[in-house]
Amino acid sequence: MNEEERLRQRLRVVERDLEELSSQLSIGEIEEAAGDRLRSTYATERSELLRSLAAADAAPAPMPARSRGRLLVGGGLLVVAIAVSIGLAGQFVQDRSDGPSTGLVDSEFDLDSVTNEQMEAVIAAYADDPSVQEQIPRMRFRLAERYFAEGNYEKAFDQYDVIIRSDPAPDIAAVSLTRVAWMVWLQTGDPALPLELVDRSLSLVSPNPEAGYVKAQLLWCGQGDNAAGAELMRQVLDGGGLPAGVVEQIEADLVAAAAGEEC
């Protein structure tokens, strides 16, 4: 058994432990406090395993060719329909006695002009500053989106993971969950955890076309459920407001899924 196979095997065990824990809590077999501690332990290990898999040199597990190429394009375009407004105004000063100088001193500044390295430095310097706790997750989200668009999934995962754990605003939490769901599926080929994550995203924001489309792909390509995948695609299209290129892509997938084609 190579390292990647060992990580995948352990991930399956941890996911099963989380499912069993939920069942035990629901029937009162385990006290709530003990259950919370166990859930935190399992969740931490799961994140570490996913991060290790994302960083593995081995190629991703085999997946349907259609979904591997198209989901990334679809996700990048669909985010336009649920764009999150990211902004930081007047919160960072150049001379901070207990942290590095960031050079970001304007009362308002364009994050597009700031490098990834500068954003990393600002986040690290102000992560524990209570006066900017509402802004930091959004700056971290912008950085994660950059890494995601660049295909740097290991760094993107790290940022999204911190966001999800920090009780963020629903808008950025929903997108972060959807992105992580896609990356986990791309790496593992197992739709179980991605479906759980994307369902959490759907529960946070409505309408949520990106999460809906990703779930449709997971059902169709990951579980072979053409009917359920096609129905979700119809719902996403019926919601309207999508760019023309995205509509064409989803319509093509809908025709294929509804016709019973394999993904």
Q: What is the pLDDT of residues 100-116, one digit of tens each?
A: 333 332 334 466 677 88
Let me know: does 78 contact 217? Beta carbons within 8 Å.
no
Residues in a beta bridge with 108: 89
pTM score = 0.64
Alpha carbons within 13 A on the beta-carbon side of 191: 18
**Reduced 3-state DSSP string for 68-110:** HHHHHHHHHHHHHHHCCCCCCECCCCCCCCCCCCCCCCCCECC
Amino acid in position 198: V
Which of 76-85, 116-125, 135-144, 203-212 has the lowest average pLDDT? 76-85
> If we measure between CA atoms, which residue out of 226, 225, 196 comes closest to residue 211?
196
Judge if the upstream peptide bond of residue 207 is cis by omega within 30 degrees of 0.
yes
Cα–Cα distance for residue pair 216/125, rounded to 1 Å: 40
Task: Please state, rounded to an integer, the average pLDDT across all residues of the chain.
Answer: 74
**Whether residue 70 has pLDDT greater than 60:** no
> If we measure between CA atoms, which residue out of 83, 71, 79 comes closest to residue 191?
71
Instruction: Report the pLDDT value the prediction gives residue 55, as an integer from 0 to 100.
Output: 62
**Whether residue 78 has pLDDT greater than 50:** no
| Per-residue exposure over 166-196, b if at least 16 CB sit within 10 Å of its own CB, e if not | eebeebbbbbbbbbbbbbbbbbbbbbbbbbe
Per-residue pLDDT tens digits for 127-152: 888 877 778 888 889 999 888 888 88
Instruction: Report the pLDDT value the prediction gives residue 1, as an integer from 0 to 100.
Output: 58
Per-residue pLDDT tens digits for 37-47: 777 787 777 77
Give the confidence band of 51 by pLDDT, cuts at 50, 70, 90: low
